Chains A and B, each alone.
Chain A
Amino acid sequence: MKILVAVKRVIDYNVQIRVKEDGSGIVTDNVKMSTNPPDDNAIEEAVKIKEAGKATEVVAITVGEEKAQETVRKALAVGADRGIHVKVDGILEPLAVSKILQKIVDKEKPDLVFMGKQAIDDDCNQTGQMLSALLNWPQATFASKIDVKDNKLEVTREIDEGLETIEINVPAIVTCDLRLNEPRYASLPNIMKAKKKPIEEILASDLGVDISSRIEQLKVEEPPKRKAGIKVANVAELVQKLKNEAKVI
């Protein structure tokens, strides 16, 4: 069994996001970038399945600019066998990414495609689902437990009401939740070894898919600041303020 894992380079989750002054986007210059956190879980799970002898190869793929390759390199350092970097400048929407992934799936013929449930930058939560539709493969989203059983997967999903366990046929798409596992650290010797693992570079423009934007972004703004609270002296004042100022009672 072969597993393809999609990883995305995003602004590190510890960094405070800053909106550009002209509202055209967010500031990314000299900002620490990292792998999208649930994508780390996706890689970890694929590597674990391989270590358990249930998969033969783990291929990490990213779609993005030159530096996005770092995320593939990191995946290689924690156990992926080889990498693919589809090069493209600018920001792609989930539909474009899933079309690119479809092309790669056609070529690589993996049995499973893993990725994070959503990226922490645009929070779209769409790429896995769209890829599932384009390929007409079953999908299991928000996976917090994956059991590989012959040609089937038993997947526990994090849903609003609690946990849902489903069984799906392989080939399949799985999008991973943060609760799925605890990603391992990349050790120094493995980082060294990862430098020698192959990464295939492909130009998005050579794949023959329409990756044009379907959404026009008008403006990016910071959420409005919360007003400072006040202290009231007694219940009477509280009631009075709720009635007359906040007008909620």
Chain B
Amino acid sequence: MSRESMEYDVVIIGGGPSGLSTAIKLKQLDSSLNVCLLEKASEIGAHILSGNVFETRALDELIPNWRELNSPIKTKVTKEKFLFLGKTKSLSWPTWLLPSVQQNHKNYIISLANLCRWLAEQAETLGVEIFPGFPASEILYNEDGSVKGVITQDMGIDKDGNKKDSFEPGIELLGKVTVFAEGCRGHLGKQLIKKFELDKGKDPQQYGIGFKEIWEIDDKNHEEGLVMHTAGWPLDNNTYGGSFMYHAENKQVFLGYVIGLDYKNPHLSPYDEFQRFKTHPAIKKIIEGGKRISYGARALIEGGFQSLPKMYMPGALLIGCDAGTLNMPKIKGSHTAMKSGIIAAETINYHFKKGDNLSVYEKIFKESWLYKELYKARNVKPSFSWGLILGIIFTGIDQILFRGRLPFTLKHKHADHETLKPANQMPKIEYPKYDNVLTFDKTSSVYLTGTNHADNQPVHLKLKDPNLPINYTLEKYDEPAQRYCPAGVYEVQKENNQNKFVINSQNCIHCKTCDIKEPSQNIIWITPEGGGGPKYGNM
């Protein structure tokens, strides 16, 4: 098919913290550059979901006067708590005994979606062309194998793949350099990692699934600036995860839960663990009488240093969590994503001005605080494969006594899709019924996300083998997609006494968990028509 094409100096895929930082920094370094940025959401910020306790280090470098520019960074962290939860009891851990990476007194409680909206305004003021509603669906390569650019998603294709009257072909966006900043498990980033063997010699990437709800709570329970984390109940000792609760402005709390996707029990439902977590007395007393106003979920990167792929390749860079720059023990990825974006812009500037190869990325990265930070953090997550208690003891030694300088590096042994044990060998988990006060079903949760995909378009969740879910995965793992999907996309239904695997793709909130956790890697997430997916507000 012949397509229109547009040429830019730099094409950036993804309007999150890393891509926007690259865009801004590029224009700061050379205002004559033509820079465009594609975003699959209907507007910048609508697919962004994060805690978020924000460390301003990268922003201080990027926009030093951000305080004067009406940025949405307002609520300073004033107080911290860390709780170990038993089934009904809770034990408060003194914050002075927390590793310094988990201390937040200089940080801010923010909505990352709002920060991205603000960064996009800054970028547009500098002349960056931002196109929301345009997913990049394919990578274009030059004859020499280097990345040439991307194709945007065709619009107006019906569910059988035929062109509708409204068909609008995608166009070729060609960049001298293309920057991939799609966030965790980007569907193009995944292809690049494979094609250019960017993960050669690295440990398998590790992921988690993060849930977030925003609650408006009673004045008397609200302490603006309070940051609270928990570990323990409802997860068992062998499952990695914990909660966050951040008291933001306007009587809102950002309440969330993160579970490592290396969990072993296929009966585990991350969504239901989060729901029942809210019924713990220590949590219930805060949100009781309040109202849930938002819900969302997104996979996140947990692999860190050992799993971080090479971030440059001919013609392109892979940045932020598309590569995996999140700092797990710090539970923060925004400042690191931004820094990786800044480094990308510096790299491209050297590339254009001095003719340096894009591999200079590696050099700037290694000299940066980002590298040091990720290096120091590297042993925390793998130590939790020994269980919560040993993990905590080791982390204390590694982070408090040695400050991340132990002379060895622990490995991530398995990819997350390899960790499930057969369903008949693992205990079933009985989750309590939803009470519609503190806990809710998936349908009413997805409703809050504003998720929609235009009717009559191809299913964007592809099965490599359409029979595998029923013929194998159901039998062996009790089809865990029914449980790990936070939006109820996957169902096994009985039809004439036959099991049928149903994909409700219109519910998909673009978290990518299925693409990661499916034990046979049978589900492939591809971009749906532009503008589809959630419409998150201040997530």
| Partner-B contacts on A (CB < 8 A) | 12, 14-16, 18, 21, 29-32, 34, 182-185, 187-189, 191-192, 228
- Check A188 against B293 for contact (C-beta < 8 Å): no
Q: Report if B166 contacts A (CB, 8 A).
A: yes
Q: Report if B141 contacts A (CB, 8 A).
A: no
Question: Which of the listed residues A18, A32, A188 has the most CB atoms from chain B within 10 Å of its own CB?
Answer: A188
Q: Report if B43 contacts A (CB, 8 A).
A: yes
Q: Which residues of B contact A31 (CB under 8 A)?
A: 537
| Partner-A contacts on B (CB < 8 A) | 4, 6, 42-43, 45-46, 111, 113-114, 117, 129, 131, 134, 152, 155-156, 164-166, 168, 171, 173, 216, 293, 436, 447-448, 450-452, 530, 535, 537-538
Q: Which residues of B contact A185 (CB under 8 A)?
A: 155-156, 166, 168, 530
25 pairs across A/B with beta carbons < 8 Å? Answer: A12-B42, A12-B450, A12-B535, A14-B450, A15-B537, A16-B447, A16-B448, A29-B538, A30-B45, A30-B113, A30-B538, A32-B42, A32-B46, A32-B537, A182-B164, A182-B165, A182-B166, A183-B166, A185-B156, A185-B166, A187-B168, A187-B171, A188-B6, A188-B173, A228-B436
Q: Which residues of B contact A184 (CB under 8 A)?
A: 166, 168
Complex Cα distance, B538 from A192, in Å, reads 28
Complex Cα distance, B46 from A15, in Å, reads 11
- Check B535 against A15 for contact (C-beta < 8 Å): yes
- Check A188 against B152 for contact (C-beta < 8 Å): yes
Knowing A16-B447, A187-B168, the reply to whether A30 touches B152 (Cβ < 8 A) is no
- Check A189 against B155 for contact (C-beta < 8 Å): no
Complex Cα distance, B129 from A189, in Å, reads 12
Q: Which residues of B contact A32 (CB under 8 A)?
A: 42-43, 46, 450, 535, 537
Q: Report, nearest first, the 7 A-B pairs whose CB atoms are least far apart.
A: A185-B168, A14-B452, A185-B155, A14-B450, A32-B535, A30-B537, A15-B450
Shortest beta-carbon distance from B380 to chain A in Å:
34
Q: Which residues of A contact B450 (CB under 8 A)?
A: 12, 14-16, 32
B131 CB contact (under 8 Å) in A14, A21, A191: A191
Shortest beta-carbon distance from B335 to chain A in Å:
22
Shortest beta-carbon distance from B230 to chain A in Å:
28
Chain B, residue nearest A13 (CB): B452
Q: Which residues of B contact A188 (CB under 8 A)?
A: 6, 131, 134, 152, 171, 173
- Check A14 against B451 for contact (C-beta < 8 Å): yes
Q: Which residues of B contact A34 (CB under 8 A)?
A: 42
Q: Which residues of B contact A191 (CB under 8 A)?
A: 131
Shortest beta-carbon distance from A183 to chain B in Å:
8
Complex Cα distance, B171 from A34, in Å, reads 24
- Check B293 against A18 for contact (C-beta < 8 Å): yes
Q: Which residues of A contact B111 (CB under 8 A)?
A: 30
Chain A residues touching B, majority SS: loop
Question: Which of the listed residues A12, A32, A192 has the most CB atoms from chain B within 10 Å of its own CB?
Answer: A32
Q: Which residues of A contact B6 (CB under 8 A)?
A: 188-189, 192
Question: Which of the listed residues A30, A189, A192 has the most CB atoms from chain B within 10 Å of its own CB?
Answer: A30
Chain A, residue nearest B452 (CB): A14
Complex Cα distance, B4 from A161, in Å, reads 47
Chain B, residue nearest A187 (CB): B168
Chain A, residue nearest B131 (CB): A188
Complex Cα distance, B341 from A89, in Å, reads 37
Complex Cα distance, B451 from A218, in Å, reads 32
Q: Which residues of A contact B537 (CB under 8 A)?
A: 15, 29-32
Complex Cα distance, B252 from A21, in Å, reads 12
Shortest beta-carbon distance from A83 to chain B in Å:
19
Q: Which residues of B contact A183 (CB under 8 A)?
A: 166
Chain A, residue nearest B72 (CB): A30
Complex Cα distance, B452 from A200, in Å, reads 34
A14 CB contact (under 8 Å) in B152, B166, B535: B535
Q: Which residues of A contact B530 (CB under 8 A)?
A: 185
Q: Which residues of B contact A12 (CB under 8 A)?
A: 42, 450, 535
Chain A, residue nearest B436 (CB): A228
Q: Which residues of A contact B45 (CB under 8 A)?
A: 30
Shortest beta-carbon distance from A7 to chain B in Å:
17
Complex Cα distance, B131 from A189, in Å, reads 11
Q: Known A-B contacts: A30-B538, A185-B155, A185-B156. Give 14 more (CB < 8 A).
A: A12-B535, A15-B535, A15-B537, A16-B447, A30-B111, A30-B114, A32-B42, A32-B46, A185-B168, A188-B6, A188-B152, A189-B4, A191-B131, A228-B436
Complex Cα distance, B165 from A229, in Å, reads 44
Complex Cα distance, B450 from A34, in Å, reads 13
Shortest beta-carbon distance from B165 to chain A in Å:
7
Q: Which residues of A contact B114 (CB under 8 A)?
A: 30
Q: Which residues of A contact B166 (CB under 8 A)?
A: 182-185
B171 CB contact (under 8 Å) in A21, A182, A189, A228: A189
Complex Cα distance, B156 from A185, in Å, reads 8
Complex Cα distance, B4 from A173, in Å, reads 38
Q: Which residues of A contact B171 (CB under 8 A)?
A: 187-189
Q: Which residues of A contact B42 (CB under 8 A)?
A: 12, 32, 34
Complex Cα distance, B29 from A184, in Å, reads 38
Shortest beta-carbon distance from A229 to chain B in Å:
13
Complex Cα distance, B322 from A227, in Å, reads 45
Shortest beta-carbon distance from B42 to chain A in Å:
6
Shortest beta-carbon distance from B356 to chain A in Å:
31
Question: Which of the listed residues B164, B436, B537 has the most CB atoms from chain A within 10 Å of its own CB?
Answer: B537
Shortest beta-carbon distance from B328 to chain A in Å:
28
Q: Which residues of B contact A14 (CB under 8 A)?
A: 450-452, 535
Q: Which residues of B contact A187 (CB under 8 A)?
A: 4, 168, 171
Complex Cα distance, B436 from A188, in Å, reads 43
Q: Which residues of A contact B164 (CB under 8 A)?
A: 182
Shortest beta-carbon distance from A90 to chain B in Å:
21
Complex Cα distance, B39 from A32, in Å, reads 15
Q: Which residues of A contact B129 (CB under 8 A)?
A: 192
Q: Which residues of A contact B168 (CB under 8 A)?
A: 184-185, 187
Question: Which of the listed residues A14, A182, A191, A192 has the most CB atoms from chain B within 10 Å of its own CB?
Answer: A14
Chain B, residue nearest A228 (CB): B436
Chain A, residue nearest B539 (CB): A30
Q: Which residues of A contact B165 (CB under 8 A)?
A: 182
Q: Which residues of B contact A30 (CB under 8 A)?
A: 45, 111, 113-114, 117, 537-538
Complex Cα distance, B129 from A14, in Å, reads 26
Shortest beta-carbon distance from B243 to chain A in Å:
24
Complex Cα distance, B293 from A21, in Å, reads 12
Chain A, residue nearest B4 (CB): A189
Shortest beta-carbon distance from A163 to chain B in Å:
22
Complex Cα distance, B448 from A31, in Å, reads 12
Question: Which of the listed residues B43, B45, B113, B117 has the most CB atoms from chain A within 10 Å of its own CB?
Answer: B43
Complex Cα distance, B42 from A21, in Å, reads 27
- Check B4 against A21 for contact (C-beta < 8 Å): no
Chain A, residue nearest B216 (CB): A21
Complex Cα distance, B216 from A36, in Å, reads 29
Complex Cα distance, B531 from A32, in Å, reads 11
